[in-house]
Structure 1
């Protein structure tokens, strides 16, 4: 897959241990595959973010896992059970990937596509307000 890479995202990923680099590259590819208009950038000084009409997701490598922050306003369904934390969070959720754990690419792609669709519809805040949530 071909997409425009931000060299600052490469710098972030390149400093990680091998297995975390693999996770980050895979999630990066999935984010871009979810919609070809996704753009990557750096926010909060060092964190890779993937954006399209608003935040879609972000990466944060921790000591023993990689967090993928999902900016969904807590409204995107998770029928595949890929979300690992933040189920009651009002602004976003998290998927933590540990060394050797598989990434359910089809489920993550669908999840990110739903966030993107919500962003294009005005964002989760507008959607929640329209739903009276």
Structure 2
């Protein structure tokens, strides 16, 4: 299977709200930039990349999660990051069933991650 098919199969394993949330997050991420590519890494993790890793997804008991590889270096004016806040590299967003995160806020964070990755490439 190609990475997109792997991600489809992964999401399909969760027919509850977590799968629906991950499917929506995926569509929101991919809508930001046509150059974002989906990859499948670490024996079962959906990953979105553009000039490097932007974020990694996971579905866990009671939550869906996006971990931003360089999250500690990204602006987060809407306060989306709510997990892994103590590190100096990654930041994550844990999504719970009743959370209401706007697509615009997440897309702004994805754009910031792309900008960060592109800036690192030019150094």
Task: State whether residues 71 and 92 of structure 2, in contact with CA within 8 Å, keep that contact through their aligned partners in structure 1.
Answer: no
CA apart distance, 1:87: 2.3
User: Taking structure 1 as reference, are residues 65 and 73 closer, same or farther at Cα in structure 2, changes over 3 Å only?
Assistant: closer
Q: CA RMSD in A?
A: 1.5
TM-score, normalised by the number of residues in structure 2: 0.90
| Residue in structure 2 matched with residue 41 of structure 1 by the alignment | 39
Q: Are 1:14 and 2:12 matched, yes or no?
A: yes
| Residue in structure 1 matched with residue 90 of structure 2 by the alignment | 92
1-side partners of 2:101 and 2:71: how far apart?
A: 22
- Count of residues paired in the alignment: 120
Moved over 4 A (4+): none
| Residue in structure 1 matched with residue 113 of structure 2 by the alignment | 115
Unpaired segments ≥5 residues, structure 2:
none
Unpaired segments ≥5 residues, structure 1:
127-133
- Could you report, residue by residue, the CA deviation over 1:78-132 in whole angstroms, capped at 9, with x for unpaired residues? 1111110122321110100011222221111001101011111126xx6xxxxxx
| Residue in structure 2 matched with residue 81 of structure 1 by the alignment | 79
